Chains A and B, each alone.
Chain A
Amino acid sequence: MFEILSSLLKYLFVTVIYLFIYGVIRLIYLDIKSASGQKFEIKKNIPYLKLINIREQFDFKVEEIYMLGKDVDMGRSAKNKIIIRDPYMSTKHARFTYKDGKYFIEDLGSTNGTFINGRDVKGTAMPLKDGDKIRVGQVDFLFVHGG
């Protein structure tokens, strides 16, 4: 009984150990991939989004600070610069653009809308100033522009 079990199991056992190793390597790889985009120090004059809500209330991963560059897309899909897997956000939800010294936000046709200080952005690019509150899906951000 034991002999048969053991002889059969040896293949399975080795496979399980290798799946474990594969799983760990995969997680490490994913961590490196997702972390390499995020670690900035806050530089002066570069605006950033600061999370207003409590991070732990969400069961999806969201950062406290997102730095904004020239053209930054935000949404659920991994193709965006800012990836937030909020079920109430669309795949491509909003875009932050920089033009003539000012930052703008436009809604990319999202299902639930993008709101600045309570007002719906709806289609056109709205200018952002320091202290504006942005709401996408369930997440509230503060737009901080030090310059």
Chain B
Amino acid sequence: MMKLLSLKRPVNMLVLANILAFGLLYYYKKPYDKMVLIEGLIVTGLICLSYFFIIKKNMGDGYLFLVVSMLSSLGVLMIYRLDQDRGFKQILWLVIGIGLFFMSYYLYGKVKIKDKLMFYYYAASIFLFMTTLVIGSSINGSRNWILIGGYSFQPSEIIKILFVLTIACYFKNSEQIIFNSKSVNLKWKLDNTKIISKIAFFLMVYSYIGFLVMQREWGTALLLFLIFFMVLYVFDNDIKLLLLNGAIAAIGGIGGYFFVHHIKIRVQMWLDPWADIAGKGYQITQSMFAISAGGFFGRGIGLGDPYLIPEVKTDFIFSAICEEMGVFGGIAVILLYFLLVYRGFKIALYIKDLFKKTVALGITLMFGFQTFIIIGGVIKLIPLTGITLPFISYGGSSLVSGFIALGILQALSKECYSGEEDVSDAEEQ
């Protein structure tokens, strides 16, 4: 029995963290809200159940879900502390997300022809783009939201996943390009030449990015470009292509700086926010103040002043975490993302099939780069972009798309773990 309760089992630590978090939230505001305890019980119970389900049914890598649930619990804690309503919604989205996680895991196993559907993915993305252009609404400067009923939904989150699948379809076929020098027969009426198929592919990728730029979603555009660039680097031997794409990006970046006012401001505020503390630099300076106010262990949950930071529930949630849980808390969050990306890479390395390998790689890069972009922006490492911190930021679409992507990654990890690595048994050493 003691082994079951041992401190070394991460599941126990997760449960303990949840108990502490929800217990604390219970006492947070008078009158003491019993709903918090009930919600906490539901969340913790659901996470534990899902984790044991994954382990017992040998559904692949157990660590992915573990790390992600820790992150999600932290997210729920912070958001509930910031805003009770949003906190409750986040819990709702978490439950839906876990359900979708299992669903996407099973569906991914069922659909056999995923790698031939390249143009369908592309068409779906174009469809989403078009709907956003037509009936989308602008929130905070980016025209990236669709409002249905009372719920807002960000199609770019789904487009990220479709993008990864599209790239993977292409690179599955590129095996023939690299190894056989045979031409790839695209279904369009294009010539059967290597170069033209590559150009068509690049046009496809840049059309994605172009649409996002049109919607003023700089963060996601940057993210997709980085994913594409990395996958190109991994799979293609031709350095000229890399340089070409890098040059295009550089031109795009510089052009953006000069021609787009918004980007210019962001870069200026990155270089020197102190010049305009009260105005344009307010966001980033408040974020820096908050992080430094946290010290090592933080000011304590509920005892900080995160409301001084604008957008604290979405983009700047990391600053709020640093303020209330200290630099150690912030580093812990970063370490958790490291673990997630590490497992993702390990899975991608192990898989033999090129399509699956690329999908795994793409999803891992998606999580990794997204985290890097937003945390980097928030600590003034790189200019700020409006992108969400996966699993922690408030946002139904962000959480849901994160879990769907995780479900796909989990399905891919099943190949690496055909029942041989038993997480709970490795502890008995």
* Alpha-carbon separation in the docked complex, A12 to B324 (Å): 13
Counting chain B CB atoms within 10 Å of each CB, which of A3, A17, A28 scores highest? A17
* Alpha-carbon separation in the docked complex, A61 to B422 (Å): 8
Query: Quick one: which of A14, A24, A27, A78 contacts B328, CB cutoff 8 A?
Result: A14
Please judge, given known A-B contacts A21-B335, A85-B428, whether A6 and B300 are in contact too, CB under 8 Å. yes
Interface stretch (choices A29-37, A91-99, A116-124): A29-37
B325 A14 Cβ-Cβ under 8 A: yes
A26 B8 Cβ-Cβ under 8 A: yes
A27 B423 Cβ-Cβ under 8 A: yes
Please judge, given known A-B contacts A2-B302, A10-B301, A35-B421, whether A27 and B17 are in contact too, CB under 8 Å. no
Write the nearest CB–CB distance from A52 to chain B, whole angstroms: 18
B283-304 residues with Cβ-Cβ distance < 8 A to A are 297-303
Is B250 an interface residue, CB under 8 A from the partner?
A: no
**Residue on B nearest A59 in the bound complex, by CB:** B425
A35 B420 Cβ-Cβ under 8 A: yes
Is B20 an interface residue, CB under 8 A from the partner?
A: yes
Query: Quick one: which of A12, A16, A21, A60 contacts B339, CB cutoff 8 A?
Result: A21
B10-40 residues with Cβ-Cβ distance < 8 A to A are 10, 13-14, 16-17, 20-21, 24, 27-28
Interface stretch (choices B63-71, B195-203, B233-241, B365-373): B63-71
Write the nearest CB–CB distance from A28 to chain B, whole angstroms: 7
**Residue on B nearest A16 in the bound complex, by CB:** B17
Query: Quick one: which of B24, B297, B299 contacts A14, CB cutoff 8 A?
Result: B297
Is A138 an interface residue, CB under 8 A from the partner?
A: no
Question: Which chain A positions have C-beta within 8 A of B66?
Answer: 24
Is A5 an interface residue, CB under 8 A from the partner?
A: yes
- Our count of residue pairs bridging A and B at CB distance below 8 angstroms stands at 106
Counting chain A CB atoms within 10 Å of each CB, which of B13, B70, B298, B325 scores highest? B13
B303 A14 Cβ-Cβ under 8 A: no
* Alpha-carbon separation in the docked complex, A146 to B429 (Å): 34
A13 B335 Cβ-Cβ under 8 A: no
B8 A9 Cβ-Cβ under 8 A: no
B339 A14 Cβ-Cβ under 8 A: no
Please judge, given known A-B contacts A31-B423, A78-B429, whether A18 and B24 are in contact too, CB under 8 Å. no
Is B182 an interface residue, CB under 8 A from the partner?
A: no
Write the nearest CB–CB distance from A105 to chain B, whole angstroms: 25
A30 B10 Cβ-Cβ under 8 A: no
Digit string of B74-117 for contact with A (CB within 8 Å is 1, else 0)? 10000000000000000000000000000000000000000000
Query: Quick one: which of B14, B17, B303, B421 contacts A31, CB cutoff 8 A?
Result: B421
A24 B300 Cβ-Cβ under 8 A: no
* Alpha-carbon separation in the docked complex, A119 to B119 (Å): 66
Counting chain B CB atoms within 10 Å of each CB, which of A3, A13, A18, A26 scores highest? A13
Write the nearest CB–CB distance from B5 to chain A, whole angstroms: 13
Please judge, given known A-B contacts A3-B303, A6-B300, A9-B301, whether A30 and B24 are in contact too, CB under 8 Å. no
Please judge, given known A-B contacts A17-B329, A20-B70, whether A6 and B297 are in contact too, CB under 8 Å. no
Counting chain A CB atoms within 10 Å of each CB, which of B325, B335, B336, B427 scores highest? B335
Question: Which chain A positions have C-beta within 8 A of B14?
Answer: 20
Write the nearest CB–CB distance from A2 to chain B, whole angstroms: 5
Write the nearest CB–CB distance from B128 to chain A, whole angstroms: 36
**Residue on A nearest B338 in the bound complex, by CB:** A21
Please judge, given known A-B contacts A9-B301, A19-B13, whether A30 and B429 are in contact too, CB under 8 Å. yes
B339 A1 Cβ-Cβ under 8 A: no
Chain A contact residues: helix, strand, loop or mixed = helix
B332 A9 Cβ-Cβ under 8 A: no
Query: Quick one: which of A17, A28, A38 contacts B70, CB cutoff 8 A?
Result: A17
Is A69 an interface residue, CB under 8 A from the partner?
A: no
Is A42 an interface residue, CB under 8 A from the partner?
A: no
Write the nearest CB–CB distance from A57 to chain B, whole angstroms: 15
Is B277 an interface residue, CB under 8 A from the partner?
A: no
Is A46 an interface residue, CB under 8 A from the partner?
A: no
B24 A17 Cβ-Cβ under 8 A: no
* Alpha-carbon separation in the docked complex, A31 to B342 (Å): 14
Is B326 an interface residue, CB under 8 A from the partner?
A: yes
Question: Which chain A positions have C-beta within 8 A of B262?
Answer: none
Is B135 an interface residue, CB under 8 A from the partner?
A: no
* Alpha-carbon separation in the docked complex, A6 to B422 (Å): 37
Is B2 an interface residue, CB under 8 A from the partner?
A: no
| 5 tightest A-B CB contacts, nearest first | A23-B10, A20-B13, A6-B300, A30-B426, A61-B425
By a beta-carbon cutoff of 8 Å, the part of chain A in contact with chain B is 1-3, 5-7, 9-14, 16-28, 30-31, 34-35, 38, 60-61, 63, 78, 85
By a beta-carbon cutoff of 8 Å, the part of chain B in contact with chain A is 7-10, 13-14, 16-17, 20-21, 24, 27-28, 63, 66-67, 70, 74, 297-303, 324-326, 328-329, 332, 335-336, 339, 343, 420-423, 425-429
Q: List 27 A-B contacts (CB under 8 A).
A: A3-B300, A3-B302, A3-B303, A10-B300, A10-B301, A10-B324, A10-B326, A11-B297, A13-B17, A13-B21, A14-B328, A17-B13, A17-B74, A17-B332, A18-B328, A19-B13, A21-B10, A21-B336, A23-B7, A23-B13, A26-B8, A27-B63, A28-B339, A30-B426, A60-B425, A61-B425, A85-B428
